[in-house]
Amino acid sequence: MFIDVLTIFPEMVDLVTGWSILKRAIDRGLVTIRAVNIRDFAADRHRTTDDTPYGGGPGMVMKPEPVVGAIEYAKGTRPGRVILLSPQGERFTQAKARALSGENHLILVCGRYEGIDERIRAFVDEEISIGDYVLTGGELPAFVVIDAVVRLLPGVLGNEASTEEESFAGGLLEYPQYTRPSVFRNLPVPEVLLSGHHAKIQAWRKEMALKRTKKRHPALYARYLREKEGAGHDG
Ligand code: SAM
């Protein structure tokens, strides 16, 4: 997979390329992550990327020419899906991450200032929000998307099963996990996990995932029940 991050702060991209699983994925050629500096597509000597809003109001607005120039440059290298990070976009989910992991080239456009000139939206395939809050720029949201997508690419995680069992994958939050020691500050690991009885462990994990999802994420639990019921009718 090829990922372009269109930003006025290209150095920020080092945040996701330099460590851990993403760095390994890059080193092994499973993904290429490139920063495209929007300033390089500004027409003036000062490489201006913002201007005051028509009609007045606070803050500055990202100019269309450099952003669209950067999008066209990225698309020119290979066809790609253009995604604008925006608090006004569709909420990012694990299902979305899974869908995007099937793309060949993601072009992530990071807004800054008070936002972007509305006409930029005509050059974008979709908008993604990482939650109902406003950040100062689209870089952190882009990194959230990159992290969630890249770990789903085949070969990136050592154990493929780990993305199948974790939260959201099966429509539920993940069951509680424990590691050594078996007792920590008087807190024991549940007996069943020490039993070596595979079927019992699976049953306990399922039960815990159901309980946990019902308590912590009732909407997800309701959807799980609906889908389970639907599958029952179909089958
Ligand atoms: N005034 C804009 C609005 O109300 O929609 C918000 C602009 S925000 C200060 C600057 C940039 O940060 C946005 O253009 C977007 O790229 C990014 N951003 C902020 N919050 C975000 C979120 N929750 N999800 C995705 N991107 C976000």
How many angstroms separate the CA atoms of 46 and 48, rounded?
A: 5
Q: What is the mean pLDDT of residues 146-172?
A: 88
pLDDT greater than 80 at residue 161 = no
Q: For a pocket test of ligand 1, which of 38, 118, 134 has the largest count of ligand atoms closer than 8 A to its C-beta?
A: 134
Which pLDDT does position 235 carry in this prediction?
42
Binding site membership of 87 for ligand 1 (Cβ less than 6 Å): yes
State the pLDDT at residue 107.
99
- How far is it, in rounded angstroms, from Cα 154 to Cα 140? 24
Residue ranges, CATH 3.40.1280.10, the chain: 2-150
Sequence-separated (6 or more) residues with CB below 8 Å from residue 91: 128, 129, 130, 131
In the chain, which residues fall in CATH 1.10.1270.20? 165-234
Cis peptide upstream of residue 181 (ω within 30 degrees of 0): yes
* Ligand 1 pocket, residue 111 CB under 6 Å: yes
Q: Domain 165-234 is of which CATH architecture?
A: Orthogonal Bundle (1.10)
Closest-CA residue, ligand 1 atom 2, reads: 115
Q: Which residues touch 123 (CB under 8 Å, ≥6 apart)?
A: 67, 68, 71, 72, 82
36-73 pLDDT, tens per residue?
999 999 999 999 999 999 999 999 999 999 999 999 99
Q: What is the pLDDT of residue 159?
A: 73
What is the pLDDT at residue 170? 87
Structure tokens at 131: 């939650």
174-205 burial, b at 16+ Cβ within 10 Å, e below that, comes to: bbeeeeeeeeeeeeeeeeebeeeeeeebeebb
141 touches ligand 1 (CB under 6 Å): yes
Return the best residue to mutate from 96, 135, 145 for the ligand 1 pocket (most ligand atoms within 8 A of CB). Answer: 135
Cβ atoms of 5 and 139 within 8 Å: the answer is: yes
Is the Cβ atom of 131 under 6 angstroms away from ligand 1? Answer: yes
Q: State mean pLDDT over 92-97.
A: 97
Residue 13 pLDDT > 50, yes or no?
Answer: yes
For the segment 137-159, the average pLDDT, to the nearest whole number, is: 95
Predicted local distance difference test score (pLDDT) of residue 234? 56
For the chain, what percent of residues have pLDDT higher than 90? 91
pLDDT of residue 231: 84
Structure tokens at 160: 């493929």
Query: Stretch 69-88: mean pLDDT, rounded?
Result: 98
Return d(Cα 201, Cα 207) in angstroms, integer.
Answer: 10
- Using a pLDDT cut of 70, give the percent of the chain over it: 98
Cα(133) to centroid(ligand 1), Å: 8
* Nearest to 157, CA basis, from 58, 122, 166, 61: 166
For residue 183, which amino acid is it? V
CATH 3.30.360.10 fits 2-150, yes or no: no
